[in-house]
Amino acid sequence: MRVYLKNLRKGWKGGIITPFFVSLIVPLMAGIWPSMKGDLVAAYSDLLQSPIYQALLGQLGLLDMTTWQGVFYMYVGICMEWAIIFIAILIPARIVAGEVDKNTLDVTLSYPIPRWRYLLEKFGVHVTYNILYGVFIYIFAVVSTNSLGENLDMTVLIHALTGFWLWLFALGALSLLCGTLFLESNRALSASGALIVTQYIMTRLGDLGELSFLKDYTVFNYLSTGTILANGGMPMGELAVVVGVGLVALVIALYVFQKRELAF
């Protein structure tokens, strides 16, 4: 656990600051919600009937925008989807590739630690800090909802935040796999970007209706906030799909890193 604990301590600034700033969307929404209520929300709801917006927002576009819960999930959902895309592309792919770029692996791997374990512990740090997105959003949601005197189903919220975290895990594992395959930041980031953005585009195209089959092959189609809200909790089948994708990608990434030649 040495690699995990040391990197957890050394990475606390980035690990805490980023989730904190992303979570500020909640108090921001709470700040403008009182002035949005009424006519503005009604006009906004009409706008969201457009097929383009429906495609862009997916199931989030079907939420009742006249309620705090509807607005909360739509904005938090969109914000987190985009945050997850950027985080999953940029961070896990560079866990190995970044070290290769800086040439720090040479010394580290001369010590008696299996490569797979080293990678697993470093990925574990990333996964651990990702929990903070949920923690900060939950805290801000409780405080904001109470101060507004509105209602928000906190059980569903916990499930939705767990869904975000599992997306970060599964997409992060795919990105990590790209890092171990390409071993160099530019190529690893390009590959993980292509893999994750393509999935997102496929999900949005699938929301248009005619190409709905495309969604079945993307992580974003499972455990989405809209599905969790509609389901009133965690759809266990979808949870298994996301966790399964993440675990398979992680195991392959660990295997590749353990076995591959470090010719750089």
Partner 1 sequence: MGSSETVLEVSNLTKVYGRDLEIAGRRLGRRVVGAKDVSFSVRRGEIFGFLGPNGAGKTTTMRSILDYLHIQEGTVTVFGMDHHRDALEIRRRIGYVPGDLSLYENFTGNELIDYYGGFRPIDTEYLRELRSVFRVDLTMKVKALSSGNRQQVGLILALASKPDFLILDEPTSGLDPLMAASAHRLLKELKAEGKTVFLSSHDLAEVQAVCDRIGIIKEGEMILVEEVENLVSKFLQNVRVSFTSEVPDIEALEAINSVISAEVEDEDTLLLKVKEDINELLRFLTNYELDRLSVQDATLEEIFLQYYQ
- Is 17 a binding residue for partner 1 by CB under 8 A? The answer is no
Cα–Cα–Cα angle for 167, 16, 83, nearest 5°?
A: 35
Site for partner 1 in 237-256 (CB under 8 A): none
- Is 97 a binding residue for partner 1 by CB under 8 A? The answer is no
Site for partner 1 in 113-172 (CB under 8 A): 113-114
Helix axes 115-148, 25-36, angle to 10 degrees: 30
CA 78 – CA 139 distance, rounded (Å): 19
Is the CA virtual torsion 75, 159, 8, 185 positive or negative? negative
CB of 5 or CB of 208, closer to partner 1: 5
Give the shortest CB-34-to-partner 1 separation in angstroms. 44
Give the shortest CB-205-to-partner 1 separation in angstroms. 34
In 10 A of CB 118, how many CB atoms?
23
- Is 236 a binding residue for partner 1 by CB under 8 A? The answer is no
CB of 185 or CB of 224, closer to partner 1: 185
CA 68 – CA 78 distance, rounded (Å): 15
- Is 208 a binding residue for partner 1 by CB under 8 A? The answer is no
**Which helix (H) or strand (E) segment is 156 a member of?**
helix 154-182
From the list 112-120, 186-194, 207-215, 239-247, the region that binds partner 1 by CB under 8 A is 112-120
- Is 12 a binding residue for partner 1 by CB under 8 A? The answer is no
Total residues interacting with partner 1, rule: CB under 8 A: 18
**Contact (CB, 8 A) for 198 and 213:** no
Length of the chain counted residue by residue? 264
Give the shortest CB-127-to-partner 1 separation in angstroms. 21
CA 42 – CA 216 distance, rounded (Å): 33
Give the shortest CB-115-to-partner 1 separation in angstroms. 9
193 residue type, one letter: G
Site for partner 1 in 177-206 (CB under 8 A): none
Positions in the binding site for partner 1 (CB under 8 A): 2, 6, 10, 102-104, 106-114, 261-263
